[in-house]
Amino acid sequence: MFSPRNRTPLGRLVVTGACATALLLGPSAGLAAADDASLAKTITERAQQLDKREKALAKTLKSLQRSPSLSRARSAQKDSGAIFRTTEAFRDEIRDDDGSTDKGIQARDAVLPELTSMALAAQKLDKQLVTAVKKRRVSKAVVTRIVSAKLVLDKAIGKVITAIGEAFADDGPVDPAPTPTDPTA
């Protein structure tokens, strides 16, 4: 039985994308809804690709942590490069999407900055791995830096998930800070 706690961060992104698709294809119809549906479809498809690549990277990094080696670092570098390229393609598709409704524009504006920060985190992880492979030196200290870069990437993924969830919420973005009530009113 699956629970949200057992899903990987990108697994939650896939579920969020599927929910976004369901929300956008709901009662609305017409060309604008089709644009928003294509945006939601793009988000769902790219999230599935990223989830697959993130699982491969997590598995490789786990084996790299257990036993650091150059071949495992090369494999992890290949996986992190794939995540970076997919994130860049995801960001380009979101940027170029022509959603015309307020919800589509709001979704694009909310998700794009978070995808940019996710791409930067993926690029940093990739650079750490490229450096380790180029120097042909994979020590425990290098692996620790790589794992900390992966944690930064996981945080960025969480922010993308939050942005997608807020953008496609029924009643608009959710304000995380409660508004104070006026005691004199």
Indicate which CATH number applies to the domain containing 104.
1.20.1420
Q: How far are the Cα atoms of 22, 133, 150 from residue 127, in angstroms, in the given order? A: 37, 10, 12
Residue 173 lies in a domain: no
Number of domains within the chain: 1
Confidence of residue 52 (pLDDT cuts 50, 70, 90): confident
**Cα 16 from Cα 157, distance rounded (Å):** 12
**Cα 115 from Cα 142, distance rounded (Å):** 26
- Helix (H, G, I), strand (E, B), or coil: what is residue 112? helix
Residue 119 lies in a domain: yes
Q: What percent of the chain has pLDDT over 90?
A: 21
**Cα 171 from Cα 149, distance rounded (Å):** 35
CB-neighbour burial class of residue 52 (10 A; exposed 0-12, middle 13-18, buried 19+): middle
**pLDDT tens, residue by residue, 105-158:** 777 888 888 889 999 999 999 999 999 899 988 888 889 999 999 999 888 888
Residue 142 lies in a domain: yes
Contact 107, 160 (CB under 8 A): no
**Cα 1 from Cα 101, distance rounded (Å):** 38
Which structural domain range is residue 159 located in?
9-167
Residue 89 lies in a domain: yes
Conformational region of residue 30, where left means phi above 0, alpha means psi within -120 to 50, and beta covers everything else: left
- 83, 166, 69: which is closest to 122 by C-alpha? 83
Pull the structure tokens for residue 136.
């042909």
Is pTM beyond 0.75 here? no
Residue 78 has pLDDT above 90, yes or no: yes
User: What per-residue confidence (pLDDT) applies to 17?
Assistant: 59
Residue 2 lies in a domain: no
Quote the longest CA-to-CA distance of the chain: 68
Count CB-CB contacts under 10 A for residue 116.
17
Report which listed range, 26-35, 91-100, 104-113, 132-141, is most confident. Answer: 132-141
Residue 91 lies in a domain: yes
Pull the structure tokens for residue 46.
């790219």
Q: How far are the Cα atoms of 18, 51, 152 from residue 45, in angstroms, in the given order? A: 9, 10, 23
Residue 174 lies in a domain: no
The mean of the pLDDT values for the chain is 76
Residue 47 has pLDDT above 60, yes or no: yes
Residue 129 lies in a domain: yes
